[in-house]
């Protein structure tokens, strides 16, 4: 059951790849263009979103310590990226971004929370036993 929840949450986070649509506009002069400081957070979101599809595949099809470590690492990097974007938001706001209009700065914490839930689920005995093959106390 935990594995299925991890899969659904990972696929939700793959939606972060939507930032690919905004990367080319970073630093532009048109209304609604992201400030130049948003280039790295946008790239980070795109990478997290695209690699989320790889992680989803690993959750479904593969096992092993490497897979488990990849799941944990991907989520740790995802939290770091979301919190880095929050800092950029504080120093160089991009109020025209529709996700910020909908959720405000809470969107950064929501993404981090989802990543942390996946880390928690990956550390449960059920999931560790499936991926690593041994029961770790």
Cα 117 to Cα 28: distance, rounded to the nearest angstrom: 36
Query: Domain map of the chain by residue range?
Result: 2-23+35-132
Give the per-residue pLDDT at 62: 92
pTM of the model: 0.89
Task: Name, in order, each residue with C-beta under 8 angstroms of 71's C-beta and a sequence gap of 6 or more.
Answer: 6, 55, 58, 59, 118, 122, 131
Helix ranges (DSSP H) in 62-105: 65-91, 98-103
Q: Are 68 and 56 in contact (CB under 8 A)?
A: no
Lowest-pLDDT range of 9-13, 94-98, 127-131, 133-137 = 133-137
Per-residue pLDDT reduced to its tens digit, 57-89: 999 999 999 999 999 999 999 999 999 999 999
Tell me the torsion sign for CA atoms 5, 1, 117, 48.
negative
The mean pLDDT of 23-45, rounded to a whole number, is: 91
Percent of residues in the chain assigned helix, strand, coil, to nearest 5: 75, 0, 25
What count of other Cβ atoms lies within 10 Å of the Cβ of residue 42?
A: 24
Residues 84, 26, 93, CA angle at the centre, nearest 5°?
Answer: 50
């Amino acid at each position: 059951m935990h594995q299925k929840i991890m899969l659904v949450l990972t696929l939700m986070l793959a939606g972060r790849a939507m930032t690919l649509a905004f990367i080319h506009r970073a630093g532009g002069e048109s209304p609604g263009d992201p400030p130049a400081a948003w280039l790295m957070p946008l790239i980070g979101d795109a990478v997290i979103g695209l690699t989320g599809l790889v992680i989803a595949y690993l959750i479904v099809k593969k096992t092993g310590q490497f897979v488990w470590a990849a799941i944990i690492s991907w989520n740790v990097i995802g939290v770091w990226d979301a919190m880095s974007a929050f800092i950029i938001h504080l120093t160089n706001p991009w109020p025209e971004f529709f996700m910020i209009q909908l959720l405000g700065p809470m969107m950064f914490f929501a993404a981090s929370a989802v990543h942390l839930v996946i880390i928690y689920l990956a550390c449960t005995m059920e999931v560790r036993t499936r991926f690593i093959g041994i029961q770790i106390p």
